[in-house]
Structures are given as structure tokens and as C-alpha cells.
């Protein structure tokens, strides 16, 4: 039997995640969507698809008749709202997957460390930039020490909704921390760029790692990491071959440059919104594994 799942947040990310669960969920059953805007397209779409809905947020979710059958809740709201949602759901036997930068639970990037946190009551998916770049940093760090890692996530301005814009500071802080704690870099830095170009450009990510040795295994390690992420994010790919050049900074002697591109699957959002698609794809992968542990 599939495990009941709910999504809190009826915006772009929550709605896209709902569509993924409905279309691709093997172990998850989309049981409910909770929002706070009764006029949102997400709630209207959920109702049309036969999903239970409430516009009263987490309190409304708890009051739904089928709430007792829900075991996994995805939070696609904001860092501030998530903390209130987590407190409200704490008394119940629910596993939470946090898509906000609240970072209250352990950081999880499916291609890197999902197996280590399957027993956690709550996991955090870092950020879209973290999901796209941390697998690369971790792959390089598994070959040779990464003295410094810097990532630049460039996303279409159109794909940055109110929640994304409200969480810009949390994005840079949370991603930098996860580059170190999950990616294995001694020091990490994250930058996000909202690109206003028209027509909108798809998500691009640059990963720069400083290492003290130009190990020839780095390229193969990065290519394997890209292939692993692409298993659950089909639009994830290398934009050009891995580059290793000489440099002297932060104690390193060589810079590894990796350019990535993330195209959205188009389940609900435009293809250029790869930043949102990689978050919902990672959430689905995590939720599917948690459902196996919960069932």
C-alpha cells in the first residue's frame, strides 16, 4: 500500500511537487494539499484532481478527515512558516521533508547522503543551488581535499516567486553551510543570481573548487555524480567538459571548474524553472525512500 503524503504550500513548488507525486509516485499517495490562499491555482488544481484541500494552513491539514492516514508531509512554504508548521505537527507520527531553507533537520542531498538520514523525523533539502552543486563538490572531495568551494546559481527571475525572494539570505547561508557539511569542502560560499533576461534562461550553476593536486580521477568522479543526479532530475547535465587549471588561492594549486545546466521537466512549471524542478525532484526521491521505511 502507498503511504499517505501531504504538501503544505500551494505555490509553484508545492503544486509541481503534487503533480510529480500524482504522476510518478510509486510508494506515495497524494492525500492532501494545504495552503493559505483560497484563490491559489495550486488548491484549485488539487481539488480538480481529487486531492483533499484546505486553505487554513497546517491547522486545516490537521483537521482534515483523512489526516490520520498521512505519514509524510512536504513543506514548500518559507523558512519562517516551516518552523511553525513543524511545531504544529510535532505531536503526530509524521516524517517531514522541508523544502525551505529553515535547516532545522539534517541536510539531505539524495545523491550524496540520503541513506544516512532515513531515520530522521525531519530532513532539509538545503536549496535549489545546493541540490544542483553539492553532489559535484562531494564527488571532487571524495577524490582529493577541497580547500574551498564556491557555487553560483543563476536562475530566471520569472522562476523566483515571493518565497524564493523572501529567503535570499537564508539561501546563501544555508547553501554555504551544506557545501561544507555535506559536500566536504573546508570552506564554502554560495551566490544566487536572478537573471531578468527575456525569454527566460534555464538554470545554470557554476562550481569552482580549489584543490592541492590535479588528480585525474576528478573528471570521472564528476561525470558519475552528474549521471546519478540525472536519474531523478532528467534535465540535469554538464554544460561543458570539466576544466582543471592552475591557480594559487586559499592554499590550493589548481581550480576545478564545473558548469551545469538544469532544465525543468514541465510537470507544472515551464522548462526554464529548473531551480524549482530540482527541488521537487529531490523531494520526490527522498519521499519515496522514506515511504519504504515508513510502510
Q: Which residues are catalytic?
A: 128
Q: What are φ and ψ of residue 123, in 5° steps?
A: -125, 155
Kindly give, in sequence order, each residue whose CB lies less than 8 Å from that of residue 282, ignoring residues fewer than 6 positions away.
Answer: 109, 110, 125, 131, 232, 233
The three three-digit cell numbers of residue 240, written as one number: 561543458
Q: Are 144 and 155 in contact (CB under 8 A)?
A: no
Binding-site residues for NAD(+), in ranges, read 10-13, 159-167, 275
Q: What are φ and ψ of residue 120, in 5° steps?
A: -75, 140
* Alpha carbon distance 103, 84 (integer Å): 13
Q: What are φ and ψ of residue 67, in 5° steps?
A: -60, -35
Q: Are 128 and 279 in contact (CB under 8 A)?
A: yes
Q: Are 147 and 250 in contact (CB under 8 A)?
A: yes
Q: How far, in Å, are 9, 10, 246 from residue 54 at the CA level?
A: 10, 10, 56
Binding-site residues, in ranges, read 10-13, 159-167, 275
Chain CA centroid to CA 199, Å:
24
Chain CA centroid to CA 58, Å:
21
Q: What is the DSSP letter of 108?
A: -
Amino acid at each position: 500500500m502507498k503511504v499517505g503524503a501531504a504538501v503544505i504550500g500551494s505555490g509553484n513548488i508545492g503544486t509541481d511537487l503534487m503533480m510529480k507525486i500524482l504522476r510518478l509516485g510509486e510508494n506515495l499517495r497524494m492525500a492532501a494539499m494545504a495552503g493559505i490562499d483560497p484563490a491559489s491555482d495550486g488548491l484549485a488544481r488539487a481539488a480538480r484532481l481529487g486531492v483533499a484541500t484546505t486553505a487554513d494552513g497546517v491547522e486545516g491539514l490537521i483537521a482534515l478527515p483523512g489526516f490520520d492516514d498521512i505519514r509524510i508531509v512536504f513543506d514548500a512554504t518559507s523558512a519562517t512558516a516551516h518552523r511553525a508548521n513543524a511545531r504544529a505537527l510535532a505531536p503526530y507520527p509524521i516524517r517531514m521533508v522541508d523544502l525551505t531553507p529553515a535547516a532545522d533537520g539534517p541536510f539531505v542531498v539524495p545523491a550524496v547522503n540520503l541513506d544516512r538520514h532515513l531515520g530522521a523525523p525531519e530532513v532539509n533539502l538545503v536549496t535549489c543551488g545546493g541540490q544542483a552543486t553539492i553532489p559535484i563538490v562531494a564527488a571532487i572531495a571524495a577524490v582529493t581535499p577541497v580547500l574551498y568551494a564556491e557555487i553560483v546559481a543563476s536562475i530566471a527571475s520569472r522562476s523566483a516567486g515571493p518565497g524564493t525572494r523572501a529567503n535570499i539570505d537564508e539561501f546563501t547561508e544555508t547553501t554555504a553551510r551544506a557545501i561544507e557539511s555535506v559536500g566536504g569542502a573546508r570552506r564554502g560560499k554560495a551566490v544566487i543570481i536572478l537573471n531578468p533576461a527575456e525569454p527566460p534562461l534555464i538554470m545554470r550553476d557554476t562550481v569552482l573548487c580549489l584543490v592541492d593536486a590535479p588528480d585525474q580521477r576528478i573528471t570521472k568522479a564528476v561525470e558519475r555524480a552528474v549521471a546519478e543526479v540525472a536519474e531523478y532530475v532528467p534535465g540535469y547535465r554538464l554544460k561543458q567538459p570539466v576544466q582543471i587549471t592552475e591557480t594559487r588561492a586559499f592554499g590550493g594549486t589548481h581550480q576545478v571548474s564545473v558548469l551545469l545546466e538544469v532544465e525543468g521537466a514541465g510537470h507544472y512549471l515551464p522548462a526554464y524553472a529548473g531551480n524549482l524542478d530540482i527541488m521537487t525532484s529531490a523531494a520526490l526521491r527522498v519521499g519515496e525512500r522514506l515511504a519504504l521505511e515508513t510502510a
